[in-house]
Amino acid sequence: MGGLSKKGWQIKQISSDAGQPRLTLDAGNLLFKHAAITPNLEAQEKLTAEAIVAAYNLIGYQAVCVGGKDLIAGIPYLQRINKNSKFPWLSANLVKQPSRKPIFKASTIIKVGALKAGVIGLTGPAMLQAEDAALILPWEEVLPTLIAKVAKKSDLVILLSNLPAADNQRIAQEYGDIHLIIQSGANANTLSPEPVNNTLLVSTGPQGKQLGIMTIHWQRSKRWGDTRAETLRKKSEAMASMRWQLSKYQQDQDPETALRNQPDQLQAYHLLKAREQAMQNEIDRLSQELGQNPPAQGTPSSFANRFMAMEIGLPDQKEVVRITDQLAAAIVKQGQQQAKSNTSTAISPYLGSNQCGACHAAQLASWQQTKHASAYTTLVNGQKQFNQNCLPCHVTGVTLAQGQEALSLPAERRGVGCETCHGPGREHSKSPKAFVLTRIPGPAVCQSCHSAPHDEAFDYQVKIKQVGH
Ligand code: HEC
Ligand code: HEC
Ligand code: HEC
Ligand code: HEC
């Protein structure tokens, strides 16, 4: 239900079967989007993190896993966030040093209609600070006893896992008592439920751009449906059809002799025979496996799932929009203060676009007509000109780490200027022949900004023709 639209953070309202008992969970890595929190970003990122929690409270999240990235502002900060969260933050393996006691709740039991769902959290790799006095234990140390405990008290066991995908696969293979693993680890992307043993593995993409909705009919068998028998039936049908086609070839005499002078037909016959053999092997393998490991007794449980992209066109949830509006205003205020406090007097190698015009008037005139020239105005129109996450791609010559500088740029460096493509030009302007700039920027230059998620469909060969002068 969280959603980050293409150009900003928004929460979309999703109606789902009203009245049906439901469980709203997040597997972690929701507060911060960068791998580290640099001093210039700290204030802004914390404002954002707090707004996310306020929105999750409103949406009614019931449990959230502590992701490695949720820890980058330190454990004391997350503990403060935890106090303001109406849902528990879960982690069974993030423990205090030296007591090795969990810092957050390891698990929780949530009633969903008549059903009791046990929810466990596991934190993935994280960069802990010495002052955190904490440790992330390997899951092998904590999970076996915890599963036994949680499984006893619940009908359905869900693991919110921030671990790498390979570990989740191993957990699914080794512990039949976990029925669903929701993943948020590195590179977690939208993944339709993948059955492994009696566990379904799912994940949705990062930054709330996708919402995963699963409808589960959980049965006493505590097992997902076994699809092997159905697969076997379908394969046998396909096999029967192949046999029938082969029988046509074999009607009168041996096809090897009959088709001697028709190489194409003979080849088609050989191919069909090979496919029949492969299918037979597959059927033998499946039958044997079913014989050794028959389907479990009882009515199998079932599920249906869909992913929803948080499209801009979806209606916004009004109360949450209020939170995002307040956040935007707070970031503007914070950014203005930070811009004022920038006392750096270092001379930048970037000069700004206007001064290039002294010698390249025609290029300046043509550039002024482009969207690059008005890229900063675009941010101003959305009141995002103090958002440090936006600035690096909408101004000239700053990186994310130079947030402070980005906030207080002179007017001529606002917008995607000449030097974005041709390189810093202060020296060139003084002695053009001694300091030659790049004439045609390569694809990497463009892609530093024109890449997913801001411009998925960028085609260098096409677009480079539109930016020359
Ligand atoms: C004082 C005049 C002057 C200023 C100011 C100036 N240039 Fe130039 N620029 C030139 C001259 C002269 C050349 C041609 C150099 C040559 O032929 O070797 C040139 C060449 C170029 C080229 C072409 C390089 C090539 O390999 O063909 C680019 C691109 C360029 N300038 C960009 C800029 C940018 C961007 C700025 C502003 C940061 C700028 N120039 C400021 C005088 C200037
Ligand atoms: C990594 C680079 C990058 C960052 C960071 C970035 N943008 Fe952009 N932005 C782009 C590019 C590239 C385009 C042009 C995309 C296109 O033409 O499809 C663009 C276009 C836009 C547009 C106008 C086009 C449209 O689709 O409406 C808006 C508005 C915008 N960005 C706002 C933002 C805001 C707000 C932020 C910060 C939350 C942001 N951008 C951060 C690269 C970036
Ligand atoms: C988005 C990238 C981009 C921006 C921004 C940009 N240029 Fe260019 N520029 C190009 C490309 C591409 C060419 C090569 C055009 C060609 O020859 O096909 C070029 C060529 C040039 C040349 C060489 C002469 C020519 O016309 O081919 C000069 C000089 C130049 N640009 C100056 C500028 C100045 C001055 C600005 C800012 C006012 C600017 N450019 C902004 C991409 C850019
Ligand atoms: C520093 C970031 C940055 C770089 C580098 C950059 N762009 Fe852009 N570009 C933007 C932004 C931001 C916009 C949208 C501005 C707006 O609408 O306000 C944009 C818009 C455009 C547009 C107009 C919209 C569209 O998609 O048709 C074209 C074309 C374009 N860029 C091509 C290029 C090419 C080609 C390069 C490389 C030579 C390049 N850009 C390099 C940030 C960048």
Q: Which tens digits make up the pLDDT trace of 104-146? A: 999 999 999 989 999 999 999 999 988 899 999 999 999 999 9
Q: Are 192 and 95 in contact (CB under 8 A)?
A: no
- Are residues 210 and 98 located together in one domain of the fold? yes
DSSP class of residue 315 equals P
Find the residues whose C-beta lies inside 6 A of ligand 1. 351, 355-356, 358-360, 418-419, 422, 425, 428-429, 432-433, 436-437, 439
From the list 191, 196, 165, the residue with the least C-alpha distance to 178 is 196
- Are residues 214 and 244 located together in one domain of the fold? no
Please give the pLDDT value at position 438. 96
- Are residues 187 and 277 located together in one domain of the fold? no
**Number of CB atoms found within 10 A of residue 445's CB:** 17
For ligand 2, what atom is nearest to the CA of residue 448? 1
DSSP class of residue 371 equals T
Residues 6+ apart with CB under 8 A from 87: 56, 57, 61, 62, 63, 64
3-state helix, strand, coil in the chain (%, to 5): 40, 15, 40
Cα 78 from Cα 126, distance rounded (Å): 13
Nearest bound ligand to CA 396? 4
Cα 230 from Cα 433, distance rounded (Å): 75
- Are residues 254 and 395 located together in one domain of the fold? no
**In the listed set 292, 317, 333, which residue is the last one of a domain according to the structure?**
292
Amino acid at 140: E
User: Is residue 247 assigned to a domain?
Assistant: yes
Q: How far is C-alpha 421 from the chain's CA centre?
A: 30
Nearest bound ligand to CA 469? 3
- Are residues 61 and 83 located together in one domain of the fold? yes
User: Is residue 124 assigned to a domain?
Assistant: yes
Q: Are 302 and 224 in contact (CB under 8 A)?
A: yes
CA distances from residue 172 to 153, 168, 197, 227 in whole angstroms, order as listed: 20, 6, 6, 17
Please give the pLDDT value at position 21. 85
Percent of the chain with pLDDT over 90: 57
From the list 35, 27, 34, 96, the residue with the least C-alpha distance to 66 is 27
pLDDT tens-digit profile of 277-308? 988 988 898 888 778 777 666 778 888 877 77
Whether 168 lines ligand 2, by a CB cut-off of 6 Å, is no
User: Is residue 339 assigned to a domain?
Assistant: no
Nearest bound ligand to CA 360? 3
- Are residues 442 and 353 located together in one domain of the fold? yes
CATH number at residue 17: 3.60.21.10
User: Is residue 287 assigned to a domain?
Assistant: yes
For ligand 3, the distance from its centroid to the CA atom of residue 103, given in whole angstroms, is 56
- Are residues 220 and 247 located together in one domain of the fold? no
pLDDT band at 188 (very low <50, low <70, confident <90, very high): low
Cα 135 from Cα 92, distance rounded (Å): 11
CA-nearest residue, atom 41 of ligand 3: 418
Please give the pLDDT value at position 92. 98
Nearest bound ligand to CA 444? 4
For ligand 1, the distance from its centroid to the CA atom of residue 425, given in whole angstroms, is 8
- Are residues 123 and 265 located together in one domain of the fold? no
Please calculate the CA angle 454-460-464 and round it to the nearest 5 degrees: 110
Cα 157 from Cα 224, distance rounded (Å): 13
Whether 378 lines ligand 4, by a CB cut-off of 6 Å, is yes
Cα 439 from Cα 421, distance rounded (Å): 8
SS3 469: coil
Please give the pLDDT value at position 1. 34
Segments of 10-163 assigned E as strands:
25-26, 63-65, 89-90, 94-96, 107-112, 115-122, 134-136, 156-161
CA-nearest residue, atom 21 of ligand 1: 437
Segments of 218-301 assigned E as strands:
none
Q: Which of 214-218, 354-358, 392-396, 459-463 bottoms out in mean pLDDT, i.e. has the lowest?
A: 214-218
- Are residues 240 and 198 located together in one domain of the fold? no
For ligand 1, what atom is nearest to the CA of residue 358? 5
Please give the pLDDT value at position 7. 34
Q: For the chain, what is the radius of gyration of the CA atoms?
A: 30
User: Is residue 240 assigned to a domain?
Assistant: yes
User: Is residue 7 assigned to a domain?
Assistant: no
For ligand 1, what atom is nearest to the CA of residue 423? 35
Q: Are 179 and 153 in contact (CB under 8 A)?
A: no
CA-nearest residue, atom 27 of ligand 3: 469
Domain count, the chain: 3
- Are residues 262 and 357 located together in one domain of the fold? no
Q: Are 305 and 254 in contact (CB under 8 A)?
A: no
Q: Which of 56-60, 150-154, 314-318, 409-413 bottoms out in mean pLDDT, i.e. has the lowest?
A: 314-318
Whether 463 lines ligand 4, by a CB cut-off of 6 Å, is yes
Helix and strand element counts for the chain (H, E):
17, 15
User: Is residue 332 assigned to a domain?
Assistant: no
pLDDT tens-digit profile of 49-60? 999 999 999 989
pLDDT tens-digit profile of 430-458? 999 999 999 999 999 999 999 988 898 99
Q: Tell me the best of 416, 422, 437, 449 to mutate to test the pocket of ligand 3, counting ligand atoms within 8 Å of each CB and taking the most.
A: 422
Whether 390 lines ligand 2, by a CB cut-off of 6 Å, is yes
Q: Are 372 and 467 in contact (CB under 8 A)?
A: yes
For ligand 4, what atom is nearest to the CA of residue 416? 1
For ligand 1, the distance from its centroid to the CA atom of residue 428, given in whole angstroms, is 7
CA-nearest residue, atom 26 of ligand 2: 7
From the list 41, 43, 47, the residue with the least C-alpha distance to 391 is 41
Considering 24-33, 194-203, 297-306, 352-361, the range whose residues carry the highest mean pLDDT is 352-361
Cα 116 from Cα 9, distance rounded (Å): 33
Q: Can you give the residue range of the structural domain that contains 454?
A: 348-466
CATH number at residue 355: 1.10.1130.10
Cα 132 from Cα 286, distance rounded (Å): 52
| Residue length of the chain | 469
Please give the pLDDT value at position 3. 38
pLDDT tens-digit profile of 380-423? 998 899 999 999 999 999 988 887 788 989 999 999 999 999 99
Cα 15 from Cα 330, distance rounded (Å): 30
CA-nearest residue, atom 23 of ligand 4: 371
Q: To the nearest whole number, what is the mean pLDDT of the chain?
A: 88
DSSP class of residue 12 equals B
**Number of CB atoms found within 10 A of residue 422's CB:** 19
CA distances from residue 141 to 94, 146, 147, 154, 159 in whole angstroms, order as listed: 12, 10, 12, 22, 16
From the list 212, 172, 170, 166, the residue with the least C-alpha distance to 187 is 166
Average pLDDT over residues 300-318: 79
Whether 363 lines ligand 3, by a CB cut-off of 6 Å, is yes
In terms of DSSP H, where are the helices of 341-454?
A: 353-356, 361-368, 375-381, 391-394, 403-407, 418-422, 426-430, 443-447
User: Is residue 424 assigned to a domain?
Assistant: yes
In terms of DSSP H, where are the helices of 34-90?
A: 39-59, 75-83
